Amino acid sequence: MKTASAKDLFENYEIDIEKFDEVYDTNGEVRKAYKSIHKYLSSLDLDGFKRYNEAAKLSFLIQGITFATYNENNQGIERIFPFDLFPRIIPKNEWKHIEDGVIQRNTAINLFLEDLYNDKKILKSGLIPHELIFSSGNYLKQMLDFVPPGRIYNHISGTDLIKHKDGNYYVLEDNVRCPSGVSYVLSNREAMKKTFSNMYKKFKVALITDYAEKLFECMQSVAPEGVDEPVCAILTPGIFNSAYFEHAFLAQSMGVELVEGRDLFVENGFVYMKTVYGKQKLDVLYRRVDDDFMDPLVFNPESALGVPGIMSVYREGNISLINAPGTGAADDKAIYAYVPDIIKYYLDEDPILSNVQTYRCDKEDDCKYVLENMDQLVLKPVDQSGGYGIFIGNKATKEEIEEMKQKVLHDKRSYVAQPIMSLSVHSTFIEETNCFEPRHIDLRTFTLLGKDKSFVLKGGLSRVALRKGNLIVNSSQGGGSKDTWVIQN
Protein backbone atom coordinates (compact mmCIF):
# COMPACT_ATOMS: atom_id res chain seq x y z
CA MET A 1 0.00 0.00 0.00
CA LYS A 2 1.26 3.40 -0.92
CA THR A 3 1.92 5.63 2.03
CA ALA A 4 0.61 9.09 1.38
CA SER A 5 3.46 11.57 1.33
CA ALA A 6 3.44 14.78 3.29
CA LYS A 7 2.70 16.90 0.27
CA ASP A 8 -0.43 14.96 -0.64
CA LEU A 9 -2.68 16.78 1.82
CA PHE A 10 -2.25 20.08 0.02
CA GLU A 11 -1.20 18.70 -3.37
CA ASN A 12 -4.35 19.46 -5.31
CA TYR A 13 -4.92 22.82 -3.71
CA GLU A 14 -5.99 25.35 -6.33
CA ILE A 15 -5.74 29.02 -5.59
CA ASP A 16 -8.46 31.06 -7.20
CA ILE A 17 -7.22 34.63 -7.43
CA GLU A 18 -10.83 35.80 -7.87
CA LYS A 19 -11.44 34.96 -4.24
CA PHE A 20 -9.77 35.95 -1.04
CA ASP A 21 -7.96 32.93 0.32
CA GLU A 22 -7.43 33.20 4.08
CA VAL A 23 -4.40 30.91 4.02
CA TYR A 24 -2.58 31.81 0.79
CA ASP A 25 -1.90 35.13 -0.82
CA THR A 26 -2.35 35.63 -4.55
CA ASN A 27 1.17 34.44 -5.25
CA GLY A 28 0.46 31.14 -3.59
CA GLU A 29 2.58 32.00 -0.57
CA VAL A 30 1.27 31.03 2.83
CA ARG A 31 0.22 34.14 4.75
CA LYS A 32 2.34 35.09 7.75
CA ALA A 33 -0.22 34.23 10.42
CA TYR A 34 -0.69 30.78 8.97
CA LYS A 35 2.96 29.85 8.40
CA SER A 36 3.57 27.61 11.37
CA ILE A 37 0.22 25.89 11.39
CA HIS A 38 0.48 25.19 7.71
CA LYS A 39 3.90 23.73 8.27
CA TYR A 40 2.58 21.51 11.00
CA LEU A 41 -0.34 20.22 8.95
CA SER A 42 1.92 19.65 5.95
CA SER A 43 4.12 17.47 8.10
CA LEU A 44 1.29 15.01 8.67
CA ASP A 45 0.66 12.17 6.27
CA LEU A 46 -2.83 11.27 5.21
CA ASP A 47 -3.21 8.32 7.55
CA GLY A 48 -1.98 10.32 10.48
CA PHE A 49 -4.30 13.19 9.71
CA LYS A 50 -7.26 10.91 9.22
CA ARG A 51 -6.64 9.30 12.58
CA TYR A 52 -6.86 12.72 14.20
CA ASN A 53 -9.92 13.52 12.18
CA GLU A 54 -11.75 10.33 13.15
CA ALA A 55 -10.82 10.76 16.80
CA ALA A 56 -12.21 14.27 16.81
CA LYS A 57 -15.42 13.13 15.15
CA LEU A 58 -15.86 10.29 17.60
CA SER A 59 -15.38 12.60 20.56
CA PHE A 60 -18.26 14.76 19.31
CA LEU A 61 -20.46 11.74 18.90
CA ILE A 62 -19.71 10.37 22.35
CA GLN A 63 -20.34 13.71 24.00
CA GLY A 64 -23.63 13.82 22.16
CA ILE A 65 -22.72 17.08 20.44
CA THR A 66 -25.16 16.32 17.74
CA PHE A 67 -28.20 17.81 16.18
CA ALA A 68 -31.06 15.55 15.39
CA THR A 69 -33.72 15.50 12.79
CA TYR A 70 -36.72 13.55 13.93
CA ASN A 71 -38.98 11.34 11.91
CA GLU A 72 -42.53 10.36 12.79
CA ASN A 73 -41.73 7.80 15.51
CA ASN A 74 -39.33 10.14 17.29
CA GLN A 75 -36.30 8.03 16.50
CA GLY A 76 -33.86 10.82 15.88
CA ILE A 77 -31.28 10.63 13.18
CA GLU A 78 -28.33 12.25 14.84
CA ARG A 79 -25.58 14.01 13.03
CA ILE A 80 -22.55 15.73 14.27
CA PHE A 81 -22.04 19.23 13.03
CA PRO A 82 -19.07 18.61 10.69
CA PHE A 83 -15.90 20.00 12.15
CA ASP A 84 -12.71 20.86 10.30
CA LEU A 85 -9.34 20.54 12.00
CA PHE A 86 -7.63 23.39 10.14
CA PRO A 87 -8.35 26.39 12.37
CA ARG A 88 -9.16 29.80 11.03
CA ILE A 89 -6.69 32.38 12.28
CA ILE A 90 -7.45 36.03 12.91
CA PRO A 91 -4.52 38.26 13.91
CA LYS A 92 -5.19 40.42 16.95
CA ASN A 93 -5.22 43.79 15.20
CA GLU A 94 -7.76 42.55 12.71
CA TRP A 95 -9.83 41.19 15.59
CA LYS A 96 -9.80 44.53 17.40
CA HIS A 97 -11.53 46.07 14.41
CA ILE A 98 -14.19 43.36 14.42
CA GLU A 99 -14.73 43.58 18.16
CA ASP A 100 -15.15 47.36 18.12
CA GLY A 101 -17.42 47.06 15.13
CA VAL A 102 -19.83 44.50 16.55
CA ILE A 103 -20.08 46.26 19.92
CA GLN A 104 -20.87 49.51 18.15
CA ARG A 105 -23.43 47.84 15.94
CA ASN A 106 -25.23 45.92 18.67
CA THR A 107 -25.21 48.89 21.04
CA ALA A 108 -26.93 50.93 18.35
CA ILE A 109 -29.42 48.13 17.70
CA ASN A 110 -30.23 48.06 21.41
CA LEU A 111 -30.96 51.80 21.43
CA PHE A 112 -32.97 51.40 18.27
CA LEU A 113 -35.17 48.76 19.93
CA GLU A 114 -35.77 50.88 23.01
CA ASP A 115 -36.77 53.76 20.77
CA LEU A 116 -39.01 51.61 18.56
CA TYR A 117 -40.98 50.38 21.53
CA ASN A 118 -41.16 53.72 23.31
CA ASP A 119 -40.65 57.20 21.87
CA LYS A 120 -40.29 56.13 18.23
CA LYS A 121 -38.13 59.17 17.53
CA ILE A 122 -36.36 57.55 14.62
CA LEU A 123 -39.69 56.88 12.93
CA LYS A 124 -40.97 60.39 13.59
CA SER A 125 -37.77 61.78 12.11
CA GLY A 126 -38.64 59.94 8.92
CA LEU A 127 -35.27 58.23 8.73
CA ILE A 128 -36.92 54.83 8.66
CA PRO A 129 -40.36 54.50 7.08
CA HIS A 130 -42.80 53.60 9.85
CA GLU A 131 -44.71 51.25 7.56
CA LEU A 132 -41.62 49.08 7.45
CA ILE A 133 -41.76 48.57 11.21
CA PHE A 134 -45.50 48.43 11.69
CA SER A 135 -45.93 45.88 8.93
CA SER A 136 -43.32 43.57 10.46
CA GLY A 137 -44.70 40.51 12.21
CA ASN A 138 -41.81 40.71 14.64
CA TYR A 139 -42.81 44.09 16.03
CA LEU A 140 -44.78 43.15 19.14
CA LYS A 141 -47.50 45.29 20.66
CA GLN A 142 -46.87 43.39 23.90
CA MET A 143 -43.55 45.24 24.18
CA LEU A 144 -44.88 48.77 23.66
CA ASP A 145 -44.30 51.43 26.32
CA PHE A 146 -42.06 49.20 28.36
CA VAL A 147 -38.32 49.21 29.05
CA PRO A 148 -36.72 45.97 30.23
CA PRO A 149 -34.44 45.85 33.30
CA GLY A 150 -31.02 47.34 32.62
CA ARG A 151 -32.41 48.85 29.41
CA ILE A 152 -31.11 45.89 27.43
CA TYR A 153 -33.00 44.12 24.66
CA ASN A 154 -30.38 42.18 22.73
CA HIS A 155 -28.32 40.71 25.53
CA ILE A 156 -26.93 38.16 23.11
CA SER A 157 -26.30 39.07 19.49
CA GLY A 158 -24.86 36.96 16.72
CA THR A 159 -23.39 39.16 14.04
CA ASP A 160 -22.44 37.32 10.87
CA LEU A 161 -19.43 38.65 9.00
CA ILE A 162 -17.80 37.77 5.73
CA LYS A 163 -14.52 38.78 4.19
CA HIS A 164 -14.88 40.01 0.65
CA LYS A 165 -12.23 39.68 -2.04
CA ASP A 166 -11.11 43.23 -1.23
CA GLY A 167 -9.88 41.79 2.08
CA ASN A 168 -12.39 43.76 4.17
CA TYR A 169 -14.96 42.42 6.58
CA TYR A 170 -18.64 43.10 5.88
CA VAL A 171 -21.64 42.43 8.05
CA LEU A 172 -23.89 39.93 6.33
CA GLU A 173 -26.62 39.57 8.89
CA ASP A 174 -27.66 40.54 12.40
CA ASN A 175 -29.17 37.90 14.66
CA VAL A 176 -30.69 39.27 17.83
CA ARG A 177 -33.34 36.64 18.50
CA CYS A 178 -31.36 34.32 20.78
CA PRO A 179 -28.75 33.27 18.22
CA SER A 180 -27.30 29.80 18.60
CA GLY A 181 -23.95 28.20 17.93
CA VAL A 182 -21.78 29.24 20.84
CA SER A 183 -21.55 25.73 22.27
CA TYR A 184 -19.92 24.62 19.04
CA VAL A 185 -17.26 27.28 19.45
CA LEU A 186 -16.43 25.99 22.90
CA SER A 187 -16.61 22.31 21.92
CA ASN A 188 -14.51 22.89 18.80
CA ARG A 189 -11.85 24.43 20.93
CA GLU A 190 -11.85 21.46 23.31
CA ALA A 191 -11.55 19.10 20.38
CA MET A 192 -8.69 21.11 18.90
CA LYS A 193 -6.84 21.19 22.20
CA LYS A 194 -7.16 17.43 22.58
CA THR A 195 -6.24 16.64 19.00
CA PHE A 196 -3.40 19.06 18.36
CA SER A 197 -2.16 19.76 21.86
CA ASN A 198 1.46 20.15 20.74
CA MET A 199 0.71 22.74 18.16
CA TYR A 200 -1.92 24.53 20.22
CA LYS A 201 0.63 25.12 22.96
CA LYS A 202 2.88 27.11 20.62
CA PHE A 203 0.24 29.69 19.75
CA LYS A 204 -1.00 32.29 22.15
CA VAL A 205 -4.62 31.70 21.27
CA ALA A 206 -7.04 34.07 23.00
CA LEU A 207 -9.09 32.17 25.57
CA ILE A 208 -12.79 31.63 25.15
CA THR A 209 -13.46 29.72 28.35
CA ASP A 210 -14.80 32.84 30.05
CA TYR A 211 -17.93 32.92 27.92
CA ALA A 212 -20.19 31.13 30.41
CA GLU A 213 -18.98 33.34 33.22
CA LYS A 214 -19.58 36.50 31.19
CA LEU A 215 -23.01 35.33 30.15
CA PHE A 216 -23.87 34.63 33.77
CA GLU A 217 -22.66 38.09 34.79
CA CYS A 218 -24.72 39.58 32.01
CA MET A 219 -27.82 37.72 33.19
CA GLN A 220 -27.28 38.81 36.78
CA SER A 221 -26.70 42.42 35.77
CA VAL A 222 -30.22 42.70 34.38
CA ALA A 223 -32.01 41.05 37.30
CA PRO A 224 -35.30 42.59 38.41
CA GLU A 225 -34.94 45.57 40.66
CA GLY A 226 -34.32 44.72 44.30
CA VAL A 227 -33.15 41.17 43.62
CA ASP A 228 -29.55 40.83 44.79
CA GLU A 229 -28.95 37.16 44.18
CA PRO A 230 -31.14 36.34 41.23
CA VAL A 231 -32.15 32.77 40.47
CA CYS A 232 -31.33 32.24 36.80
CA ALA A 233 -32.38 29.50 34.40
CA ILE A 234 -32.32 28.56 30.74
CA LEU A 235 -35.62 27.73 29.06
CA THR A 236 -35.38 24.98 26.44
CA PRO A 237 -38.11 23.59 24.21
CA GLY A 238 -36.92 20.14 25.35
CA ILE A 239 -34.69 17.24 24.44
CA PHE A 240 -36.09 16.94 20.94
CA ASN A 241 -34.98 20.42 20.00
CA SER A 242 -32.06 20.44 17.59
CA ALA A 243 -30.09 22.81 19.82
CA TYR A 244 -30.77 20.93 23.06
CA PHE A 245 -27.11 20.11 23.45
CA GLU A 246 -26.31 23.81 23.52
CA HIS A 247 -29.02 24.56 26.08
CA ALA A 248 -27.79 21.81 28.41
CA PHE A 249 -24.20 22.78 27.82
CA LEU A 250 -24.78 26.40 28.78
CA ALA A 251 -26.86 25.48 31.83
CA GLN A 252 -24.14 23.13 32.99
CA SER A 253 -21.37 25.65 32.34
CA MET A 254 -23.16 28.35 34.31
CA GLY A 255 -24.52 26.01 36.97
CA VAL A 256 -28.10 27.19 36.44
CA GLU A 257 -31.27 25.17 36.02
CA LEU A 258 -32.32 24.01 32.59
CA VAL A 259 -36.09 24.35 32.57
CA GLU A 260 -38.94 23.61 30.19
CA GLY A 261 -42.19 25.55 30.01
CA ARG A 262 -44.01 22.86 31.94
CA ASP A 263 -41.60 23.34 34.86
CA LEU A 264 -42.74 26.93 35.32
CA PHE A 265 -45.92 28.71 36.32
CA VAL A 266 -47.09 32.18 37.17
CA GLU A 267 -48.61 33.03 40.52
CA ASN A 268 -49.11 36.32 42.32
CA GLY A 269 -47.18 38.27 39.74
CA PHE A 270 -44.06 36.08 39.81
CA VAL A 271 -42.71 33.12 37.89
CA TYR A 272 -42.01 29.95 39.86
CA MET A 273 -40.28 26.64 39.16
CA LYS A 274 -41.81 23.36 40.28
CA THR A 275 -39.19 21.64 42.40
CA VAL A 276 -39.24 18.55 44.57
CA TYR A 277 -39.48 20.84 47.57
CA GLY A 278 -42.28 22.98 46.23
CA LYS A 279 -42.21 26.24 44.30
CA GLN A 280 -39.12 28.39 43.86
CA LYS A 281 -39.14 31.93 42.44
CA LEU A 282 -37.25 32.56 39.22
CA ASP A 283 -35.73 35.95 38.41
CA VAL A 284 -33.81 35.79 35.14
CA LEU A 285 -34.70 33.53 32.26
CA TYR A 286 -32.50 33.01 29.24
CA ARG A 287 -35.10 31.59 26.97
CA ARG A 288 -34.31 29.56 23.90
CA VAL A 289 -37.94 29.47 22.87
CA ASP A 290 -39.17 31.78 20.12
CA ASP A 291 -41.31 34.83 20.93
CA ASP A 292 -44.41 33.28 19.45
CA PHE A 293 -44.26 30.33 21.84
CA MET A 294 -43.35 32.19 25.03
CA ASP A 295 -46.81 32.91 26.39
CA PRO A 296 -49.91 31.14 25.07
CA LEU A 297 -52.05 33.82 26.68
CA VAL A 298 -50.83 36.59 24.38
CA PHE A 299 -48.99 34.83 21.56
CA ASN A 300 -49.65 31.49 19.90
CA PRO A 301 -52.39 29.96 22.08
CA GLU A 302 -51.43 26.43 20.99
CA SER A 303 -47.94 26.68 22.43
CA ALA A 304 -47.06 24.18 25.10
CA LEU A 305 -43.46 25.36 25.27
CA GLY A 306 -44.05 28.62 27.07
CA VAL A 307 -45.51 29.88 30.32
CA PRO A 308 -49.00 31.41 30.43
CA GLY A 309 -48.89 34.85 32.01
CA ILE A 310 -45.14 35.31 31.77
CA MET A 311 -45.41 38.41 29.58
CA SER A 312 -47.46 40.19 32.22
CA VAL A 313 -44.92 39.27 34.89
CA TYR A 314 -42.22 40.56 32.58
CA ARG A 315 -43.97 43.89 32.14
CA GLU A 316 -44.42 44.14 35.90
CA GLY A 317 -40.63 43.92 36.12
CA ASN A 318 -40.68 40.71 38.14
CA ILE A 319 -38.73 38.57 35.71
CA SER A 320 -36.06 39.38 33.15
CA LEU A 321 -36.11 37.72 29.76
CA ILE A 322 -33.04 37.21 27.65
CA ASN A 323 -33.27 38.27 24.87
CA ALA A 324 -36.24 40.58 25.15
CA PRO A 325 -39.24 39.53 23.08
CA GLY A 326 -39.74 41.58 19.95
CA THR A 327 -36.05 42.00 19.11
CA GLY A 328 -36.89 40.48 15.74
CA ALA A 329 -38.11 43.91 14.69
CA ALA A 330 -34.45 44.90 14.42
CA ASP A 331 -32.79 41.96 12.67
CA ASP A 332 -35.22 41.71 9.84
CA LYS A 333 -33.29 41.79 6.56
CA ALA A 334 -35.18 44.88 5.43
CA ILE A 335 -33.97 46.74 8.54
CA TYR A 336 -30.43 45.55 7.87
CA ALA A 337 -30.09 48.12 5.11
CA TYR A 338 -30.72 50.89 7.64
CA VAL A 339 -28.28 49.77 10.31
CA PRO A 340 -25.53 52.19 9.21
CA ASP A 341 -28.08 55.02 9.53
CA ILE A 342 -29.17 53.64 12.89
CA ILE A 343 -25.58 53.72 14.16
CA LYS A 344 -25.19 57.29 13.01
CA TYR A 345 -28.53 58.35 14.49
CA TYR A 346 -28.07 56.96 17.99
CA LEU A 347 -24.32 57.07 18.48
CA ASP A 348 -23.35 59.87 16.14
CA GLU A 349 -20.49 57.69 14.88
CA ASP A 350 -19.57 56.28 11.51
CA PRO A 351 -20.06 52.53 11.27
CA ILE A 352 -16.83 50.64 11.90
CA LEU A 353 -17.96 47.59 9.96
CA SER A 354 -19.48 48.03 6.52
CA ASN A 355 -22.78 46.73 5.31
CA VAL A 356 -23.22 44.84 2.09
CA GLN A 357 -25.09 47.03 -0.40
CA THR A 358 -28.75 46.07 -0.02
CA TYR A 359 -31.67 46.72 -2.34
CA ARG A 360 -35.13 46.75 -0.84
CA CYS A 361 -37.77 45.50 -3.19
CA ASP A 362 -40.46 47.69 -1.65
CA LYS A 363 -38.58 50.77 -2.87
CA GLU A 364 -39.47 51.54 -6.43
CA ASP A 365 -35.99 52.32 -7.72
CA ASP A 366 -34.43 49.40 -5.92
CA CYS A 367 -37.09 47.03 -7.13
CA LYS A 368 -36.59 48.10 -10.71
CA TYR A 369 -32.86 47.53 -10.40
CA VAL A 370 -33.42 44.12 -8.80
CA LEU A 371 -35.79 42.95 -11.50
CA GLU A 372 -33.38 44.02 -14.22
CA ASN A 373 -30.30 42.46 -12.63
CA MET A 374 -31.61 39.26 -11.12
CA ASP A 375 -28.74 37.19 -12.48
CA GLN A 376 -26.15 39.20 -10.56
CA LEU A 377 -27.90 39.34 -7.21
CA VAL A 378 -28.67 37.26 -4.16
CA LEU A 379 -32.30 37.55 -3.06
CA LYS A 380 -33.30 36.84 0.50
CA PRO A 381 -36.70 36.65 2.15
CA VAL A 382 -36.68 39.25 4.93
CA ASP A 383 -38.17 37.13 7.67
CA GLN A 384 -36.38 33.81 7.26
CA SER A 385 -33.22 32.61 8.88
CA GLY A 386 -31.09 29.51 8.59
CA GLY A 387 -30.30 30.11 4.93
CA TYR A 388 -33.78 29.13 3.81
CA GLY A 389 -35.36 30.61 0.71
CA ILE A 390 -32.17 32.21 -0.58
CA PHE A 391 -32.01 32.75 -4.32
CA ILE A 392 -28.62 33.06 -5.97
CA GLY A 393 -28.94 34.76 -9.33
CA ASN A 394 -25.91 33.45 -11.17
CA LYS A 395 -26.79 29.86 -10.28
CA ALA A 396 -30.43 30.09 -11.37
CA THR A 397 -31.96 28.95 -14.65
CA LYS A 398 -34.05 31.27 -16.82
CA GLU A 399 -37.23 29.68 -15.50
CA GLU A 400 -36.13 30.06 -11.92
CA ILE A 401 -35.34 33.73 -12.51
CA GLU A 402 -38.76 34.25 -14.01
CA GLU A 403 -40.41 32.48 -11.11
CA MET A 404 -38.47 34.59 -8.62
CA LYS A 405 -39.48 37.79 -10.42
CA GLN A 406 -43.12 36.85 -9.97
CA LYS A 407 -42.58 36.19 -6.28
CA VAL A 408 -40.94 39.57 -5.81
CA LEU A 409 -43.67 41.40 -7.71
CA HIS A 410 -46.27 39.64 -5.67
CA ASP A 411 -44.77 40.51 -2.28
CA LYS A 412 -42.24 43.32 -2.46
CA ARG A 413 -41.95 43.88 1.28
CA SER A 414 -40.74 40.34 1.71
CA TYR A 415 -37.53 40.49 -0.31
CA VAL A 416 -34.20 42.23 -0.30
CA ALA A 417 -31.36 41.77 -2.75
CA GLN A 418 -27.62 42.07 -2.47
CA PRO A 419 -24.79 41.80 -4.95
CA ILE A 420 -23.27 38.32 -4.95
CA MET A 421 -20.53 38.75 -2.41
CA SER A 422 -17.53 36.64 -2.82
CA LEU A 423 -17.01 35.06 0.59
CA SER A 424 -13.39 34.33 1.40
CA VAL A 425 -12.20 30.75 1.17
CA HIS A 426 -10.20 28.66 3.60
CA SER A 427 -8.35 25.37 3.25
CA THR A 428 -10.64 22.66 4.51
CA PHE A 429 -10.15 18.92 4.63
CA ILE A 430 -12.50 17.20 2.23
CA GLU A 431 -13.16 13.58 3.04
CA GLU A 432 -14.23 12.60 -0.46
CA THR A 433 -10.92 13.60 -2.00
CA ASN A 434 -8.69 13.09 1.04
CA CYS A 435 -7.02 16.43 0.70
CA PHE A 436 -7.41 20.09 1.56
CA GLU A 437 -9.47 22.23 -0.77
CA PRO A 438 -10.64 25.84 -0.61
CA ARG A 439 -14.16 26.30 0.78
CA HIS A 440 -16.19 29.43 1.50
CA ILE A 441 -16.40 30.56 5.10
CA ASP A 442 -18.08 33.23 7.18
CA LEU A 443 -17.81 34.20 10.84
CA ARG A 444 -20.51 34.36 13.44
CA THR A 445 -19.47 36.57 16.34
CA PHE A 446 -21.16 36.56 19.73
CA THR A 447 -21.69 39.83 21.59
CA LEU A 448 -23.06 40.11 25.10
CA LEU A 449 -24.65 43.29 26.40
CA GLY A 450 -25.45 43.62 30.08
CA LYS A 451 -26.24 46.56 32.27
CA ASP A 452 -23.21 48.82 31.75
CA LYS A 453 -21.12 46.01 30.30
CA SER A 454 -20.30 44.43 26.99
CA PHE A 455 -18.27 41.46 25.89
CA VAL A 456 -17.35 39.82 22.61
CA LEU A 457 -16.33 36.18 22.50
CA LYS A 458 -12.81 36.18 21.06
CA GLY A 459 -13.10 34.34 17.80
CA GLY A 460 -16.54 32.99 17.22
CA LEU A 461 -17.83 30.36 14.91
CA SER A 462 -16.24 30.10 11.48
CA ARG A 463 -18.80 28.32 9.37
CA VAL A 464 -17.76 26.46 6.24
CA ALA A 465 -19.82 25.65 3.19
CA LEU A 466 -18.62 22.11 2.61
CA ARG A 467 -20.10 21.65 -0.83
CA LYS A 468 -17.77 22.89 -3.51
CA GLY A 469 -18.64 26.35 -4.73
CA ASN A 470 -21.52 26.66 -2.30
CA LEU A 471 -21.98 29.99 -0.52
CA ILE A 472 -24.45 28.95 2.14
CA VAL A 473 -22.77 28.00 5.37
CA ASN A 474 -25.73 27.19 7.62
CA SER A 475 -25.65 23.80 9.29
CA SER A 476 -29.14 23.06 8.04
CA GLN A 477 -27.76 23.47 4.51
CA GLY A 478 -24.77 21.15 4.80
CA GLY A 479 -22.35 23.51 6.48
CA GLY A 480 -19.60 22.69 8.91
CA SER A 481 -17.41 24.70 11.24
CA LYS A 482 -13.86 25.48 12.24
CA ASP A 483 -12.24 26.62 15.40
CA THR A 484 -11.33 30.30 15.22
CA TRP A 485 -8.08 31.47 16.76
CA VAL A 486 -7.44 35.06 17.62
CA ILE A 487 -3.68 35.32 18.02
CA GLN A 488 -0.97 37.84 18.79
CA ASN A 489 0.50 39.32 15.66
* Residue 200 lies near another protein (rule: CB under 8 A): no
* Residue 146 lies near another protein (rule: CB under 8 A): yes
* Residue 362 lies near another protein (rule: CB under 8 A): no
Given 127, 144, 207, 409, the residue binding another protein (CB under 8 A): 144
Residues 241-280, one symbol each (x = binds another protein by CB under 8 A, - = not), give ---x---xx-xx----xxxx-xx-xxxxx---xxxxx---
Q: Taking CB under 8 A as the criterion, which residues in 66-95 touch another protein?
A: 73, 75
Q: Taking CB under 8 A as the criterion, which residues in 329-348 touch another protein?
A: none
Q: SS in 3 state form for the chain?
A: CCCCCCCHHHHCCCCCCCCCECCECCCCCECHHHHHHHHHHHCCCHHHHHHHHHHHHHHHHHCCCEEEEECCCCCEEEEECCEEEEEEEEEHHHHHHHHHHHHHHHHHHHHHHHHHHCCCHHHHCCCCCHHHHHCCCCCCHHHCCCCCHHHCCCCEEEEEEEECCCCCEEEEEEECCCCCCHHHHHHHHHHHHHHCHHHHHHCCECCCCCHHHHHHHHHHHCCCCCCCCCCEEEECCCCCCCCHHHHHHHHHHHCCEEECHHHEEEECCEEEEEECCEEEEECEEEECCCHHHHCCCCCCCCCCCCCCCHHHHHHHCCCEEECCCCCHHHHCHHHHCCHHHHHHHHHCCCCCCEECCCEECCCHHHHHHHHHCHHHEEEEECCCCCCCCCEEHHHCCHHHHHHHHHHHHHCHHHEEEEECCCCCEEEEEECCCCEEEEEEEEEEEEEEEECCEEEECCCCEEEEECCCCCCCCCHHHCEEEEEEEEECC
Given 17, 55, 61, 409, the residue binding another protein (CB under 8 A): 61
Q: Taking CB under 8 A as the criterion, which residues in 463-482 touch another protein?
A: none
* Residue 377 lies near another protein (rule: CB under 8 A): no
Residues 2-41, one symbol each (x = binds another protein by CB under 8 A, - = not), give ----------------------------------------
Given 3, 62, 71, 398, the residue binding another protein (CB under 8 A): 62
Given 79, 315, 363, 407, the residue binding another protein (CB under 8 A): 315
Candidates 44-52, 124-132, 216-224, 363-371; binding stretch for another protein (CB under 8 A): 124-132
* Residue 147 lies near another protein (rule: CB under 8 A): no
Number of residues lying near another protein (CB under 8 A): 50
* Residue 134 lies near another protein (rule: CB under 8 A): yes
Closer Cβ to another protein, 335 or 449, answer by number: 335
* Residue 112 lies near another protein (rule: CB under 8 A): no
Closer Cβ to another protein, 157 or 236, answer by number: 236
Q: How far is the CB of 18 from another protein (least distance, A)?
A: 43
* Residue 401 lies near another protein (rule: CB under 8 A): no
Q: Taking CB under 8 A as the criterion, which residues in 216-245 touch another protein?
A: 239, 244
Q: How far is the CB of 252 from another protein (least distance, A)?
A: 4
Closer Cβ to another protein, 130 or 468, answer by number: 130
Q: How many residues does the chain have?
A: 489
* Residue 96 lies near another protein (rule: CB under 8 A): no
Residues that bind another protein (CB under 8 A): 61-64, 73, 75, 120, 123-124, 126, 130, 134, 141-144, 146, 239, 244, 248-249, 251-252, 257-260, 262-263, 265-269, 273-277, 296-298, 301, 308-309, 311-313, 315-316
